């Protein structure tokens, strides 16, 4: 159960950040456009890479 929370919680944090910024910048589409580009092209790929990457030393059995 701990592993599931560890994997899923960053995605929900991104959703929460988007919701909060949507409430703060209500009606200002230019700010949301740049936030959307940041999340799609930088934050989510970095998040996926950090979640899926495991160093070889941890996966290799001796």
Instruction: Return the pLDDT at 40.
Output: 85
Instruction: Return the pLDDT at 61.
Output: 56
Low-confidence ranges of the chain (pLDDT < 70): 27-28, 30-31, 54-62
- Name the pTM for this structure: 0.47
Kindly report the CA angle at 16 between 18 and 24, in degrees rounded to 5? 50
Question: How far apart (Å, rounded) are the C-alpha atoms in residues 19 and 34?
Answer: 15
- Residues with Cβ within 8 Å of residue 47, at least 6 apart in sequence: 10, 11, 14
């Amino acid at each position: 159960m701990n592993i599931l929370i560890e994997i899923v919680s960053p995605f929900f944090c991104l959703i929460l950040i988007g919701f909060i910024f949507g409430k703060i910048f209500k009606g200002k589409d230019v700010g949301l456009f740049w936030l959307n580009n940041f999340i799609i092209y930088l934050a989510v790929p970095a998040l996926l890479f950090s979640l899926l990457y495991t160093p070889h030393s941890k996966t290799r059995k001796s």
